[in-house]
Amino acid sequence: MSEHDVDTRPMIETHDVKKIYADGKVQALDGVDLSVSAGEFVAITGPSGCGKSTLLSLLAALDGPTSGTIRVGPYELQHLKNADRFRRQEVGLVFQLHNLLPRLSVLGNVEIAMMGSERPRAERAKRAQSLLRDVGLTDLSDRRPTQLSGGERQRVAVARALANDPSVLYADEPTGSLDSRSVSTVLGLFERLRTDHGVTIVLVTHDVAVAASADRTVHMLDGRIVEP
């Protein structure tokens, strides 16, 4: 590729991805082909056990496929030599259970995601404060997670996921335990992150209303992507 060429490939691309567990008895994914453009916000829906969370874990290199290919940006995930480095540099993860550390302050919970990076301590603190400002929690930076509402804790989790400037953000049922007002706040935050920072977002959800906030919805059934 010359310096004048533009890479128009998708940010995320999978081809014939299969994932089999239990000595071949459980096929969680059965030939998944998925393409997600850079800066796109995609929701993955489907019934429990359809494979959507398994797919998300493969896209984040938390697990590897039994067969098939997965590419995220320039990385061929099935050939990764250092999955931890890939996740630290490229991936932000948000789960239904925020997994904040109760003994750390809100600021500390965001800062800790940058441990092991090359950022000096002062820069880590500055970055964490900036992210908390982005999610509207500057005034709560000294509190512990137990002093926050569910929606506030999830916003801290989003800030933590963005600490290392990821190119992709994966969210697994991030609104599943939130009230309707907090759901709207978190979804608005996702949209702003995509618009302002160009982050590619893949969100897994059971909620049709949550899925409707995405640019596109991908439906899964029995380990495959199917038509709506």
The domain ranges of the chain are 12-226
> How far is residue 147's CA from residue 48's CA, in Å, rounded to a whole number?
32
Torsion sign (Cα): 107, 112, 113, 119? positive
| Assigned CATH class of 12-226 | alpha beta
pLDDT at position 228 is 64
The pLDDT value recorded for residue 2 is: 46
**What beta strand segments (E) does the chain contain?**
12-21, 26-36, 41-45, 67-72, 75-76, 91-95, 168-172, 200-204, 216-221, 224-226
Give pLDDT, residue 169.
Answer: 93
Per-residue model confidence (pLDDT) at position 1: 44
Pairing mode of beta strands 216-221, 224-226: antiparallel
% helix, strand, coil for the chain, step of 5: 35, 25, 40
Q: For residues 122 and 73, what is the distance between their CA atoms, to the nearest angstrom?
A: 30
Q: What is the pTM of this model?
A: 0.87
Residues of the chain with pLDDT under 70: 1-8, 228
Position 8 scores a pLDDT of 61
